[in-house]
């Protein structure tokens, strides 16, 4: 069901990154009520710049590392819910690309996303008297079309796609809907220099950038369109200014 972002409260994990920052700017044009940015590194100048885009929206920055224990995440979210009373959307956007750092890649790209999602269910789950909510997880084209030279990164993004698909199917139970936005190759600092697994391709970054790319602004525009379309279970592919809801695999009924 299409969603108006006017007067909505949004938590954006990693809302100051390459794609994240431009998406935050696009969100502010929609007259949110609150945009709460959770990120590792504070950048007061950027927060001030964001606030100037739309003074009607309250922009708040809170330091957050997605690799902290889930109990810490729940405490942080409680302070946000206590202040705002309601949160409408959680965007999980933290990610790293470096297949030399196997544990960190899994911890940030997948475990951190799962933990943040699990933590917010304490406040949203209708079985606990919550109001429900919307989760937007940032995946990647590699989640369904792997860059085989970075199998760890690609594997984490495939895990995000599967986790989010499961969340969407659980919506009748939890009241929480979910979808992924999956950017194609986007010109961010992430892709200009990174390491392949076991150095199987020393020039993986250069070879990747030989393919057609999109700007962070093009990606951000499609990103916010996907949020407004608000399709539970959507697998959105954002590439070169286009937005497409794709079918990854045939659905299999487990019979459970």
Mean pLDDT score across all residues of the chain: 94
- Alpha carbons 40 and 37: distance in angstroms, whole number: 10
- Average pLDDT over every residue of 15-41: 96
Q: Which residues are catalytic?
A: 153
pLDDT of residue 29: 97
* Fold (CATH) for 7-240: Rossmann fold (3.40.50)
- Average pLDDT over every residue of 82-91: 98
pLDDT of residue 247: 80
If one compares 38 and 211, the residue with the highest pLDDT of the two is 38
Residue 8 binned pLDDT confidence (cut-offs 50, 70, 90)? very high
Q: Which residue is it, tokens 């962070």?
A: 216
pLDDT above 70: residue 251: no
- Average pLDDT over every residue of 40-68: 97
pLDDT of residue 189: 76
As given in the structure block, the two tokens for residue 238 are 């954002």
pLDDT of residue 252: 38
- Average pLDDT over every residue of 58-73: 98
Phi-psi region of 149 (alpha: psi -120 to 50; beta: other; left: phi over 0): alpha
Residue 195 binned pLDDT confidence (cut-offs 50, 70, 90)? very high
pLDDT above 50: residue 18: yes
If one compares 108 and 192, the residue with the highest pLDDT of the two is 108
Residue 244 binned pLDDT confidence (cut-offs 50, 70, 90)? very high
Task: Say if CB 136 and CB 90 are below 8 A apart.
Answer: yes
- Alpha carbons 13 and 16: distance in angstroms, whole number: 8
pLDDT above 60: residue 256: no
Residue 187 binned pLDDT confidence (cut-offs 50, 70, 90)? confident
């Amino acid at each position: 069901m299409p969603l108006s972002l006017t007067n909505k409260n949004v938590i954006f994990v990693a809302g100051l990154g390459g794609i994240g920052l431009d998406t935050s700017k696009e969100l502010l044009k929609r007259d949110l009520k609150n945009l709460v940015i959770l990120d590792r590194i504070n950048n007061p100048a950027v927060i001030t710049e964001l606030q100037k885009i739309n003074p009607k929206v309250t922009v708040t920055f809170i330091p957050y590392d997605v690799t902290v224990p889930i109990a810490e995440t729940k405490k942080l979210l409680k302070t946000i819910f206590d202040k705002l009373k309601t949160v409408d959307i959680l965007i999980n956007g933290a990610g790293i690309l470096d297949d030399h750092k196997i544990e960190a890649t899994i911890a940030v790209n997948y475990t951190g996303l799962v933990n943040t999602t699990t933590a917010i269910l304490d406040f949203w789950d209708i079985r606990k008297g919550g109001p429900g909510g919307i989760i937007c997880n940032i995946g990647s084209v590699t989640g369904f079309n792997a860059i085989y030279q970075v199998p760890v990164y690609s594997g984490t993004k495939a895990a995000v796609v599967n986790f989010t698909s499961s969340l969407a199917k659980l919506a009748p139970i939890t009241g929480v809907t979910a979808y992924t936005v999956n950017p194609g190759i986007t010109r961010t600092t992430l892709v200009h220099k990174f390491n392949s697994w076991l150095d199987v391709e020393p020039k993986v970054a250069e070879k990747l950038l030989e393919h057609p790319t999109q700007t962070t602004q093009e990606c951000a525009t499609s990103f916010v369109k996907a949020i407004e379309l608000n399709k539970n279970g959507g697998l959105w592919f954002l590439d070169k200014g286009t937005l497409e809801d794709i079918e990854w695999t045939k659905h299999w009924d487990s019979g459970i």
